Amino acid sequence: MKYTKYITSAAGLLGLGAILVACTPAPTMKTGYDYAIPETQAMQDDDFSNPAFVWVDIGEEQWSTVDGEAGKSCESCHGDASSMKGISTSYPKYSAEDGKMRTLQHQINYERTERMKAKAWKWEGDEMLGMASFIKNQSKGMPLNVSIEGEAAPFYEAGKAFYMQRRGGLDMSCKNCHMDYPGVKIRANVLTNGLPNGFPTYRLKWQKIGSLHRRFRGCNSNIRATPYKQGSDEYTNLELFLTHRANGVAVETPAVRN
């Protein structure tokens, strides 16, 4: 049975007034793909129509490009890119060298600076987003399988606490939207479960591909909270929590969203 609700407090602070929403509560957790309109789904499904594959192509080119003082490429150590199948499904991972969690993007820069003796890539740069998309695309269709055992446990708890904490001028948490109201419309957009399985993702709003941490920053800004930097410990822990929450969900990278 469908029902109608008003989301008023946050909208009032935004000056939007009451937002009428109607939905059928989702019985199970879904990905953003499931909430997308058919046209957006079709764009993601067709590799030739998916605009994110411009960046996948960049990553594929970079894979065999020699860079840095060591005179190496990714291919020099890892061989064919098919060797990356399944690798990204277990990130973020605990690093004993750092004493904290590493996302796939952290690991890419580690390989560049330590193995290749090359310059680190910018978090939202085309090369980084291209390589992350290319590597994750090797695992497309495989289930996420992130561990929160052992050393990773306290970082998971920190990410969970971040997810549940109300913050910003709207006094809202991640949970308020993505656990409490998935499937509900807020203005023209449908709230989803907020799963990370399609990142890096091409957003029609951005007209380009972007990282999960860019999306975190956008959400923080929307609720009038101060965003953290991409790659920060706070966002890395949050990524760990979200990815573990999505364990078993198939990788869609590169996804297309509104």
| Residue pLDDT, tens place only, 146-199 | 999 999 999 999 999 999 999 999 999 999 999 999 999 887 789 999 999 999
pLDDT at 169 (0 to 100):
96
pLDDT at 202: 98
- pTM value? 0.88
- Mean pLDDT value of segment 43-61: 97
User: Confidence band (pLDDT; 50, 70, 90) for 124?
Assistant: very high
Instruction: State how far the Cα of 209 lies from the Cα of 24, in Å rounded to an integer.
Output: 30
What is the average pLDDT across 60-76? 98
27 pLDDT higher than 60: no
User: What does the pLDDT average to over 14-40?
Assistant: 62
Is the bond preceding 196 in cis, omega lying within 30 degrees of 0?
Answer: no
Check: CB of residue 32 under 8 Å from CB of residue 192: yes
Q: Is it the case that residue 67 has pLDDT exceeding 90?
A: yes
Q: Can you read off the two tokens belonging to residue 245? A: 């929450």
Query: CB–CB of 127/55 below 8 Å?
Result: no
pLDDT class of 29 with cuts at 50, 70, 90: confident
Question: How far apart are the C-alpha atoms of 92 and 104, rounded to whole Å?
Answer: 6
Is 80 exceeded by the pLDDT of residue 10?
no
Identify the residue with better confidence: 22 or 215. Answer: 215
Q: Tell me the C-alpha distance between 104 and 130, whole Å.
A: 12
Q: Give how far Cα 65 sits from Cα of 5, 73, 74, 132, 200, Å.
A: 54, 5, 8, 15, 21
- Choose among 19, 7, 10, 8: nearest CA to 169: 10
pLDDT over 90 at 6, yes or no: no
What percentage of the chain reaches a pLDDT higher than 90? 86
- State percent of the chain over pLDDT 70: 89
User: Using CA atoms, how far apart are residues 60 and 73, in angstroms rounded to an integer?
Assistant: 12
Neighbours of 69 (CB within 10 A): 8
Look at residue 224 and tell me whether its pLDDT is greater than 70: yes
CA dist., res. 13 & res. 199, Å (int): 30
Q: Position of tokens 């953290």? A: 228
What residues act catalytically? 219
Q: Which domains are seen in the chain, by residue range? A: 30-258 (1.10.760.10)
- Cα–Cα distances in angstroms (integers) from residue 56 to residues 43, 126, 178, 218, 244, in the given order: 15, 10, 28, 23, 25
Q: Residue 12 corresponds to which tokens in the numbers above? A: 């009032």
pLDDT at 28: 67
For the chain, the average pLDDT equals 90
Over residues 73-117, the pLDDT tens digits come to 999 999 999 999 999 999 999 999 999 999 999 999 999 999 999
